Amino acid sequence: MSNAGYWSGSHQVSRRSVLRGGAAGAVGLAGAALIGCSSGTSKPTAGGTAVAGTATAVTGGAQAKKGGTLRIAGQLSGDVPGLDLDRVGGSAMGSVANITGVKLTQWDERPDSPGPVENVIPDLAESWETPDQGLTWNFKLRKGVKTPDGLEAKAQDVVWTLERQSAIKTPAGGLQVNFPSLYTGKKPNATAIDDYTLQIKVAKPDADVLSMLGQHTWAVEHKEVVTKKGTDLGKTAPGYGDIISIEQVRGAGPYYPTEYVPASGFKFKKNPNFYDSSIAYLDGIDHPLILDPAAAAAALQAEQLDAFGPLTQFSVQQGLELEKAKNLQVNWQPCMVWNPWIFDMTQAPFNDVRVRSAVAKAVDRESWVKNLYGGRGRNGTMVLPWLTYWALDPSKMGADGDPSFKYDPAESKKLLAAAGTEKLQFPLQTSNIGSYTVTYPFADLMKSMLANVGVTMDIKIVEYASHLRNTDAAKKGVYQSFIVRPDIQTYAFAQVGGGGALVGASMDSWGALAKNDKEYVAFLDVMEKQRLTQDRNARREVVYDMQKRMAKNVWNFYWPAPDSPVVSNKKVHNFRPPPGWNWNIMKYVWKDA
């Protein structure tokens, strides 16, 4: 096959149509895969005790301008389905929770931090220790951490927040879903020893305890705030929780919401009681919902908007154009949002690795990145190309150069013939909302590439909620899921433990593999080993092993992804959104008058 055909319009999808969907935007995941974070700054001692991380610091803080309102859009690609962070999760309310609340720890998103997401540092907890190699964690809480109404966050509030997660059943709380070892017996193993001492116990040692306690799926809540509107703990509005007013979203973080207009956006003001008066430079943040990237680009150029990101919907082409504007700066990052295909491996044809490999070899990834993304993209064979952002050695990853993913249509046809599937036909189920929609052109491109080796793919677009809850419709085919890039610390959580990766689909592909596939069983053992490995360098080596096993067996499929252009006005300082959407970075952002 000639490479030129895909880019000259001879197939059913044109280069122009794909460029319109050149970068995935964010949606409220509501149970889809969630991102992980990083290792703690605390270093285990010989006795198994960890001490507190470093103090907060900001590069260039002496030059920071106090005051002003930052106008930022792009975190959402649609209106939030609800205001209850515990139920909605994802980017829909994750950004709000991270500037309105505190957690026990926080991801290190300081502008001068390495990575930038390389460690966890104190937030509500100012120090911690584990006396028994990670089964018990004792946290000393910071005093004077208050909401804008003057309510102090104490150990009892942490326990109440965790209990609320387990009390509301539908949908389950984000932390409970993603950190089940904290919730043995369906209740959190958390105890308030006194106002400023909290003890947490987990079912088994886990290298991700501190980073899980600092991620966006939860924030410390106050019973007096959440229940002030007469809500009943354990009772929930259909689907999206019992927080229904912004007055109930008043945590002890640097900002608090003053206004929310559905389908329009949020406004925030600085919390006058925020515990660190040396940061949170802005007086406020306006967070409009601008869903059209062209409109956002025009607003940026006209200086009616200060920033668009971090989960941006700008295509590569739009980012390159915006780089030419004298008043704007573009920060290119590896793609933040990817859409893996989960094969139905419970039955033929995708229970045969030859068929899965044939699909992988039908994709001309190098030409895709070169011609479609102008070189501003990366091969999405195994998700792990993201991890190069954390200084992993690509030569060890078994990804881009792995023969399992080398473009070879002739070999693809041979594999299909050997499997008896020369005329393979299967459905791809995807959703009608948010980041899923911008992948439609990519799915069309995949359809045309597969047709070149004799494979027919039928694209089925269903309503978002139905797509999340019903993967049975994808039987004998492929279910398109959702994952936001992890880092090395929570690789297994995000890549294997979330709904968008190797487990969790209701069609039970992974359960079937665990019973019948020796390769997958061995992979699970390695996955568990990396999850328990505390040493960061040692963990990298285990992840390399995981990467090679995944490449060999093609349990999930990823097409190449574009880099993400994060755009802001040159008057904005320290707007360097880290991988993910944890938005602690907003504490360190300021802009010139």
Residue 160 has pLDDT above 80, yes or no: yes
Q: Is 13 inside a domain boundary?
A: no
Residue 458: name the closest of 473, 438, 468, 469 by CA: 473
Task: Tell me: do 264 and 344 sit in the same domain.
Answer: no
For residue 103, what pLDDT is reported?
Answer: 94
Report the range of poorest mean pLDDT among 235-249, 361-375, 470-484, 521-535: 235-249
Give, as one character, the DSSP assignment of residue 416.
Answer: H
Counting the structural domains of the chain, the total is: 2
Q: Position 404: which residue type? A: S
Q: Is 442 inside a domain boundary?
A: yes
Report the range of poorest mean pLDDT among 134-148, 327-341, 348-362, 408-422: 327-341
Asked if residues 99 and 254 have their Cβ atoms less than 8 Å apart, the reply is yes
Q: Is 312 inside a domain boundary?
A: no
For residue 397, what pLDDT is reported?
Answer: 59
Outline where 398-483 has alpha helix (H): 409-418, 434-437, 440-451, 464-469
**Residue 46: pLDDT band with limits 50, 70, 90:** very low
Task: Tell me: do 511 and 587 sit in the same domain.
Answer: no
Task: Tell me: do 252 and 120 sit in the same domain.
Answer: yes
For residue 574, what pLDDT is reported?
Answer: 86
For residue 35, what pLDDT is reported?
Answer: 22
Q: Is 53 inside a domain boundary?
A: no
Q: Is 331 inside a domain boundary?
A: no
Instruction: Tell me the pLDDT tens digit for each residue of 531-577.
Output: 788 777 787 788 778 778 888 888 888 888 788 888 999 999 988 76
Instruction: Tell me the pLDDT tens digit for each residue of 5-40.
Output: 333 333 333 333 333 333 332 222 222 222 222 223
Task: Tell me: do 516 and 555 sit in the same domain.
Answer: yes
Separation between Cα atoms, residue 309 and residue 296, nearest integer Å: 10
Task: Tell me: do 273 and 163 sit in the same domain.
Answer: yes
Task: Tell me: do 380 and 509 sit in the same domain.
Answer: yes
Task: Tell me: do 554 and 569 sit in the same domain.
Answer: no
Task: Tell me: do 222 and 264 sit in the same domain.
Answer: yes
Q: Position 473: which residue type? A: A
For residue 424, what pLDDT is reported?
Answer: 95
- Residue with the bigger pLDDT between 579 and 248: it is 248
Q: Is 304 inside a domain boundary?
A: no
Q: Is 436 inside a domain boundary?
A: yes
Determine the structural domain holding residue 538 and report its residue range: 336-562
Residue 389 has pLDDT above 50, yes or no: no
Q: Position 422: which residue type? A: E
Instruction: Tell me the pLDDT tens digit for each residue of 414-463.
Output: 999 999 999 999 999 988 876 677 677 888 999 999 999 999 999 999 88
pTM metric for this prediction: 0.76
Residue 473 has pLDDT above 60, yes or no: yes
For residue 51, what pLDDT is reported?
Answer: 33
Residue 104: name the closest of 252, 245, 223, 233 by CA: 252
Q: Is 276 inside a domain boundary?
A: yes
Residue 388 has pLDDT above 70, yes or no: no
Task: Tell me: do 149 and 163 sit in the same domain.
Answer: yes
Instruction: Tell me the pLDDT tens digit for each residue of 175-192.
Output: 777 788 898 877 899 999
Instruction: Tell me the pLDDT tens digit for each residue of 260-310.
Output: 988 888 999 999 999 998 889 999 999 998 878 899 999 999 999 999 876
CATH (domain of 190) = 3.40.190.10
The predicted model gives 512-520 an average pLDDT of 84
Task: Tell me: do 454 and 575 sit in the same domain.
Answer: no
What DSSP line would sit under 47-107, residue for residue? Answer: TS-----PPP--TTGGGPPP--EEEEE-S-SS--S-S-HHHH-HHHHHHHHHHH---SEEE
Task: Tell me: do 538 and 570 sit in the same domain.
Answer: no
Task: Tell me: do 105 and 78 sit in the same domain.
Answer: yes
HSE, CB side, 13 Å, CA atoms: give it for residue 166. Answer: 17
CATH (domain of 349) = 3.10.105.10
The predicted model gives 43-54 an average pLDDT of 32
Residue 525 CB contacts under 8 Å (≥ 6 apart), including other chains: none
- Residue with the bigger pLDDT between 3 and 582: it is 582
Q: Which of 106-110, 355-359, 501-505 has the highest mean pLDDT?
A: 355-359
Report the range of poorest mean pLDDT among 75-84, 199-208, 232-241: 232-241
Separation between Cα atoms, residue 338 and residue 332, nearest integer Å: 16
